[in-house]
Copies of this chain bind each other. A is one copy, B any other.
Amino acid sequence: MKPDAAIGVLERTPPTLRALLGGLSDDLTSAGGHEEEWGPFDVVGHLIFGEETDWIPRAGIILEHGDSRPFVPFDRFAQFQRFKGRSLDDLLNEFERARDRNVQTLREMKISADQLKLRGMHPELGRVTLGQLLATWVVHDLNHIGQIAEAMAKRYDAAVGPWKAYLPILDR
């Protein structure tokens, strides 16, 4: 995936999450209360952590070391401690700032079509390319936008009554 195409989606995620979640009642947006049951609050924390430790740092490792230095493993659960006691609106602001910085860094990397084929070493998945990393950054955003919609929907699981049969988001 080319950097410009990735940026076209990446820069939309903070305003999308702000439109969906900003100022909304805690009933709908709070943490899930369990490591395997994320609420919107947990997802936004996870996205911040990804901005700090995942995408751009890994792109830097590929550009500098290729596949000779494996990526640092990503901590999927760091957000549960890190953001305790913060407000969701505060996290939305922090995510927006971190994403803006990283989009700017990605632009400054001026990655060429040839560089998209450069390889890195994922600690579990093995060899991956820089182009795959950029596509994954984008799809990871979309995955978590879907997860937030799902977490919000599930809080109305009982309230929809018989209509549940028509709402696949309640069945995942």
Contacts and interface: CB of A to CB of B under 8 A. Distances in A.
A147 to B, nearest CB: 8
Contact of A135 (B1, B140, B159, B166): B159
A150 interface: yes
A74 to B, nearest CB: 10
A152 B9 contact: yes
Given A140-B167, A150-B142, A159-B132, A5 B20 contact: no
A161 interface: yes
Contact of A156 (B20, B139, B162): B139
Interface string A113-135: 00000000010011111011101
